[in-house]
Structure 1
Amino acid sequence: MSESEVTMNLELETYPPIFRQLNNQSSTHQKVIEPVGESELTIPAIDLHCLSPEELGRACRDWGLFRLVNHGVPSTLLRQLYEHAKELFSLSFECKQEIFCSPLSYVWGTTCITPSGAALLTGPQYIQWVEGIHFPLGQLSQLQPQHHMLASFRLLLEEYGKHLGRLGRTIFKTMAMELNLDPGESETHLGESTGFVRVYRYPLRSMANSAWGIDVHTDSSLLTILNQYEVGGLEVLKDDQWLQVKPIPDELIVNLGDMMQAISNDKYKSVKHRVRLNKHRDRISVGYFVFPKEDSVIRSSNYKPFTYGDFQAQVHQDIKTLGFKVGLERFKLT
């Protein structure tokens, strides 16, 4: 057996059985994914050290995302998270199933998580090539790691969560100021206790032009803060054109979710995005998601009053019955 074959077999051990089979099957049943240009328009950069409400508001209205610079998260911490994540994902699938237990959730094939934490798979043609671990930051103290790698990763996530909570508070406070939101009401719109981290691996695949890492979607969050490290693949929709968001060392990507679009009365965008696979390297990213407080009612002249719990329940119902997320359209006033 050649060295490349040995490497591939070791890689396949990290996949669940259905993905091991799919990796060896022809992908002729899947659609061919359209190519995307190499060029990238200039995505706005927001400097946290001199945060301007006007510049932030412009980025949120025109793009729905921006690069965050001078954010204060140590580059050593970002690198440690990446290296530890690579080690965790390199474990066998059976080992990962065993150690990623409550309060964590572990999924393959979709980023949609049911209340039971199981992936929603409706057939091989719909499977997305993504592996994810869901870490609720407020419950990390309940985690009793059964593996030394996970114990080390938990400590890093606790430190990372403090930094990301600070970023989320600062960014949302500035957005609320720019939108002239009622201070009393807007206090409930950011619930730090809802924050969680999802660590994703998009496995390398020779047939990367016939399957997605994650297909087109919007995030349900208030906002998402992403570190995509060295391997690109993230694409965003801007003016009906798909653009690459290339990784830049030590920069974070912030994108707005459905909750922020509703709170802003559609002034801000919940940006559509997707992730393309890489033929040569695994792509690993770490995303922080934060939502409104559980009892926070979102009121807007464009939507019926709803809580995030209402929204989440509707999304789960739509995925179960339709196979996809409908999102804010379910709450639009007619």
Structure 2
Amino acid sequence: MAATDQIAATPTYDLAKEFKEFEESKMGVKGLAESGITSIPNMFIHPPEVLSTLKKPTSHTKKAIPLIDLSNLNVPTKRQQLVEQIREATSSWGFFQVINHGVPLSVLNEIIDAIKAFHDQPHEVKAKLYNRDNDKQGVMYQSNYDLYRAKVATWHDSLTIWTAPEEKRGKEEDIPEICKKEMAAWESHSSKVAEILLELLSEGLGAEAERFKKLGFFDARLLVGHCYPYCPQPDLTVGLKPHTDSGFTVLLQNQVGGLQVKHCDEWVDVEPIPGALTINIGDIIQIISNDNYVSVEHRVLAKASKEPRISAVAFFNMNTNAGFEPLPEILSSDKPAIYRKSTMTEFLESFYSKGLDSKYFLKKVKIVN
């Protein structure tokens, strides 16, 4: 049956009831996939206008997000070249990949294996960590963090571990033993990469190297281990719907693929490159840079691959009480601020009032002339 035929034939159903039953099962989409289903529940079926964008064009020029080699980072005569490469990448794509970033391949392999091992556990074991209370923070396992705010669910499960600030930090005893050591190593190494890249981004704006660090971009840190399991009908749903992120992110993906970035109204695959890290600057940096850097939509496709897509993501952001606005030192009479001053509290209130979205907050704080 064609996807459009199935959607047309889908009877009216109680979405809230289906969400509730799924939530109470605490089995996640991996549990659904392992139950032997051959068709996905109605709550995962996306509308035709979304599904139509999943179809690949019959022919197009192959695009790829920028790939930046950091091997010359400590060569003084080469640093400016790196700054310019990153500035160009973030002003047009908002995403780029880095290689020779200093993180040992063993650390990268081990974190992917550890996240997979966590999600491979019986759902009764993972259910002990299941929680949807955004105020709880700490350590959580969940499927679709915005389940009740979204109109349709997506095909992924997540392990979330807060590492800063202290009041949100996950307790050592709550972090699953199966991935505890690997998560600690991933946080340490991804933080070093983030610090290097935020310095280069700051220099690309003509500001001092530590400007982003001083603004507090390491004050709120979050580690997420996503699992996108086998999906029997990947043409009817998505792994993660189109959205933009708030803060700066460092992402590692396994070789299954599925991540896509929107560039010039076209969805471009972020091809897995062994050992590479994928970088996304996020909405807050777009505001601070006064649109010199752009935050872009991205999504993850659902796949019929028996091997799940696994990703490790490190998020870096300001703490709840922080304020932000375009950097004064990059403004002039010719280039005035295009965003008003705002706070992380305002951003989070907006974020938690709806499901994953794209640039909703940027539109909200943009100054209309």
TM range (shorter): 0.7 to 0.9
Distance in 2 (alpha carbons) for counterparts of 1:26 and 1:169: 41
Structure 2 matches for 1:113-262, cutoff 5 A?
A: 119-120=147-148, 122=150, 126-138=152-164, 142-145=171-174, 150-181=176-207, 186-221=212-247, 223-262=248-287
Segment of structure 1 superposing worse, 291-300 or 200-209:
291-300
Task: Determine the C-alpha separation between the residues in 2 that align with 1:26 and 1:195.
Answer: 34
* Residue in structure 2 matching 1:288, options 304, 307, 314: 314
Paired AA for residue 329 in structure 1:
K
1:98 to 112, 115, 128: 128
Cα distance 1:285–1:108, how it changes in 2: closer, same or farther (>3 A)?
same
Decide which structure has the larger Cα Rg and report it.
2
Secondary structure of the equivalent of 2:303?
A: coil
Of 255, 263, 268, the residue aligned with 2:293 is 268
Is structure 2 residue 325 aligned with structure 1 residue 299?
A: yes
Q: Distance in 2 between matches of 1:186 and 1:26?
A: 43
CA distance in 1, matches of 2:217, 2:170: 18
Residue 49 of structure 1 and its aligned partner are, at CA, apart by: 2.7
Task: Say if 2:244 and 2:357, in contact at 8 Å, map to a contact too.
Answer: no
Amino acid at match of 2:258: G
Task: Write out the 4+ residue segments of structure 1 that deviate beyond 6 Å after TM superposition.
Answer: none
Alignment-derived partner of residue 345 in structure 2: 309
Amino acid at match of 1:68: V
> In the alignment, residue 225 of structure 2 is paired with which amino acid?
V
Distance of aligned partners of 1:22 and 1:176 in 2 relative to their CA distance in 1, 3 Å threshold: farther
Residue by residue over 1:127-180, the C-alpha shift from the partner in whole angstroms, topping out at 9 and shown as x without a partner, is 11110111112366722148xxx2241121112111111111111111111102
Contact 1:298–1:305, Cα closer than 8 Å, also in 2: yes
Quote how far apart the aligned CAs of 1:36 are. Answer: 2.5
Would you say 1:331 and 2:368 are equivalent positions? Answer: no
Shift of 1:17: 10
**Aligned CA distance change for structure 1 residues 270 and 26 (closer, same or farther; 3 Å):** closer
Structure 2 gaps, min length 5: 1-24, 74-81, 132-136, 327-336
Normalising by structure 2, we get a TM-score of 0.75
Q: Residue 275 of structure 1: CA displacement?
A: 0.3
Residues in 1 aligned to 2:124 and 2:38: alpha-carbon distance in whole angstroms: 20
The equivalent of 1:46 in structure 2 is: 68
Aligned residues: 307
Q: Write the deviation string for residues 159-216 of structure 1: whole angstroms up to 9, x where unpaired.
A: 2111111111111111111102367864433432311111101111120010010011
Q: Tell me which residue corresponds to 2:334.
A: none
Q: Which residue of 2 aligns with 1:56?
A: 86
Q: Percent same amino acid among aligned pairs?
A: 22
Give the match for residue 107 of structure 2: 77
Match of 2:304 in 1: 279
Q: Secondary structure at the match of 1:215?
A: strand
- Tell me the equivalent position of 1:4: none
- What amino acid is aligned across from residue 348 of structure 2 in structure 1? Q
In structure 2, the partner of 1:15 is 28
C-alpha separation in 1, matches of 2:170 and 2:302? 34
In the alignment, the residues of structure 2 paired with residue 186 and residue 80 of structure 1 have an alpha-carbon distance, to the nearest angstrom, of 30
Match of 1:304, SS state, is coil
Q: In structure 2, what is the equivalent of residue 115 of structure 1? A: none
Quote the offset at 1:15 in angstroms: 3.4
Does structure 1 retain, via aligned residues, the 8 Å contact 2:259–2:299? yes
Counterpart Cα distance in 1 of 2:199 and 2:210: 12
**Structure 1 Cα separation of the partners of residues 217 and 298 of structure 2:** 24
How far off is 1:26 after superposition? 5.9
CA distance in 1, matches of 2:29, 2:272: 28
**RMSD between superposed Cα atoms in Å:** 2.9
Q: Which amino acid aligns with 1:48?
A: L
- C-alpha distance 99-284 of structure 1, shift in aligned 2 (>3 A): same
